Structure 1
Amino acid sequence: MGHSSVSASPGSQSRLRTVRLDGTPVYRYQQRPGLPPISVTRFDTETAHADLPPDHRHAHDFLVLVYVEEGAGSVVIGGAERPLRAGQVHAVSPGQVIGVADVTELAHSRAWSAAFTPDAVPALASVSPLTWTHHPLLALFGPGAGHGRVAEPDRATWSALLTDLAGELADPGRLGAREAIAATLTRLLVAAARLAPSAPGAPDPLVEQVFAEIEATFREPVSAADVARTLGYTPGHLTTVLRRRTGRPLLEWITERRMIEVRRMLRETDLPLDAVAARTGLRDATYLVRRFRNRYGTTPQRWRRAERAWP
């Protein structure tokens, strides 16, 4: 197995990040330097059962798009039961808990799972990550959406796109692979977005406030307490509310925004680490290296070299 999907726990491209108070494991995308932050797996659940957590419940801090070619049974995503039927597409947002009521019902299912972070798509990498939840390409991941069904004449196209994406990812070093991967994932997201309701759900005003404040201040050495105080909340209360509504606590959102900017600067500039740290609200180069290694499993210097070596 590769990544987690609706019916399988994460594999080689993800690792356990934390365990919630209720015992639910949360998995983080483990991006490898020089490779795009996306993994595609085609599987049948008979081979996936051994990888499931003991109670089948888990969550991710990345996006997962699942396309069902043949299905039976159902899964529970974010507290809502969703059927697994041919042509169904399920969008699993970061933080949503995925559960399986009866694993044996899934024995006749075949599906694709595409797990990725939004910056795998150029159109999303060029905007603030705090606006990703409302970007048109991620409409199926938005409030009031979460799933759709592909019309029968279009199902072969979905399977072909996922097959092509898996093929490019199998040999990412060949000429044009980077562009082909980004283009194919974009086509999949466009197709998924067209399955979303025409009237998207309203954004959460508090989450919007928090994200706006993070975007305005992440380049400064602000803390979660600073952001909470500016918005008139205690850090504990705001962290609890944000975790419940987005799947992540306040500090993680601040750190994630900084790390994405660090990666952009490593990829696009020759600035030394001290300068990168100073421009992303981090204490110094030593602290940046420690945070970066903890998040990505490698040093910023190795990341930069690997990114530039990728054709």
Structure 2
Amino acid sequence: MHPVAPLQVERFRIEQLAADRETHHAEYVLSFIVEGQLRMRHGEALQVEAGSVVIVPAGVPHQLLSGHGLDIWWLGFCPGCLGLHENQQQMAPFRQVRLGAAPAMGVAPARQALLAQYFAELQRLSASSGAGADALCKSLLSLILAEVGNAMAPTSPTRDTLVGNVLDYIQRHCCRPLSLAEVAAAVHKSPAYVTHRVKLATGASVGEWITSNRLHQACTRLLHSNASVAQVAELVGWQDTTHFIRQFRKRFGMTPGAWRRQQRHADIKP
């Protein structure tokens, strides 16, 4: 069994979009709305207009609610497969959205045609093979990410600094043994205070955030490697494979092995 391609680009034209169930992507997803309107839930209900980009970091729950007259460029990619990491500057838009920034932003009218050209060329090149095509795809992805970074307001609202620092620490250290006490010590607060602030701001506990980040990392490894379920469990911080499978089934409704098979044979959808 071969890993799924690390980068996929599709263009969708949809006259009427019906509501879908809440979902999570193992990939990082960028959607550019060329025409039409889209309603979605991404933390809160949003209406996205033509000329906007929507950012969905891997593992973040979201739901399509409705849309009409849509012409959408859809890009899904695995940063690790392309030598990228969310901590890098060009991935900053995804990081900011994960920490609470608005997931949709308008692209300046003068830049929209160029952005559409980047997507079209990336789609053409991604269908090619060879090291040269791969390098060009990565360069075009960097240009798209730069356009999105420029479109994102430098003062995009995020969660309060303490909670942002907590979630940031969890994300960077979730794949090893990690406790509430360690997280609290990293931000120089008591465990009880951190627990209260994180729960109040996000609705989830520190432990739930650790589990969520580990599951996101597990999805990436399941989709883009041939590591066994037991190996994936160990790589993302679970010493007990049975506990990992239980947590995975609780989140996704199926075992890691079944999820991997389903994702590798699933059709792309916006």
Give your verdict on TM over 0.5: yes
Distance change in 2, residues 1:97/1:184 (3 Å): same
Q: Take 1:134 and 1:245, find their aligned partners in 2: how far apart are those partners?
A: 28
- Residue in 1 aligned with 2:83? 122
SS of equivalent residue, structure 2 residue 179: helix
RMSD: 4.6
Q: Is the 8 A contact 1:258 1:281 kept in 2?
A: no
Matched, 1:35 2:5: yes
Matched, 1:253 2:213: yes
After superposition, the C-alpha distances for 1:27-76 in whole angstroms (9 at most, x for unaligned) are: xxxx961621x322101113x75xx5xx43433234322212222x4413
Distance change in 2, residues 1:132/1:98 (3 Å): farther
Q: Take 2:260 and 2:89, find their aligned partners in 1: how far apart are those partners?
A: 23
- Residue in 1 aligned with 2:29? 64
- Residue in 1 aligned with 2:265? none
- Residue in 1 aligned with 2:138? 182
After superposition, the C-alpha distances for 1:77-131 in whole angstroms (9 at most, x for unaligned) are: 322332332x222223442433324x5xx0x22111112343355342xxxx5x4
Q: Which moves more between the two structures, 135-144 or 188-197?
A: 135-144
Matched, 1:146 2:103: yes
- In structure 1, the gaps of 5 or more residues are 1-30, 268-272, 299-311
Q: Take 1:76 and 1:69, find their aligned partners in 2: how far apart are those partners?
A: 16
Distance change in 2, residues 1:293/1:132 (3 Å): farther
Distance change in 2, residues 1:227/1:207 (3 Å): farther
Q: CA deviation at 1:261?
A: 8.2
What amino acid does structure 1 have at the position aligned with 2:73? W
Distance change in 2, residues 1:279/1:238 (3 Å): farther
Q: Take 1:255 and 1:158, find their aligned partners in 2: how far apart are those partners?
A: 32
TM-score (norm 1): 0.56
Q: CA deviation at 1:184?
A: 1.3
45, 58, 65: which one pairs with 1:100? 65
What amino acid does structure 2 have at the position aligned with 1:196? M
Q: CA deviation at 1:199?
A: 1.9
Q: Which moves more between the two structures, 278-287 or 208-217?
A: 278-287
Q: Is the 8 A contact 2:3 2:223 kept in 1?
A: no
- Residue in 2 aligned with 1:3? none
Q: CA deviation at 1:179?
A: 1.6
Matched, 1:228 2:193: no
Q: Is the 8 A contact 1:63 1:118 kept in 2?
A: yes
69, 72, 79: which one pairs with 1:111? 72
Q: Is the 8 A contact 1:218 1:254 kept in 2?
A: yes
Distance change in 2, residues 1:187/1:245 (3 Å): farther
173, 195, 199: which one pairs with 2:155? 199
- In structure 2, the gaps of 5 or more residues are 185-190, 245-254, 263-270
What is the count of residue pairs matched by the alignment?
A: 238
TM-score (norm 2): 0.63
- Residue in 1 aligned with 2:118? 161
* Residues 49-60 of structure 1: pairs in structure 2 closer than 5 A: 49=17, 52=18, 55-60=19-24
Q: CA deviation at 1:297?
A: 4.3
- Residue in 2 aligned with 1:84? 49
* Residues 294-309 of structure 1: pairs in structure 2 closer than 5 A: 296-297=260-261
Distance change in 2, residues 1:287/1:184 (3 Å): farther
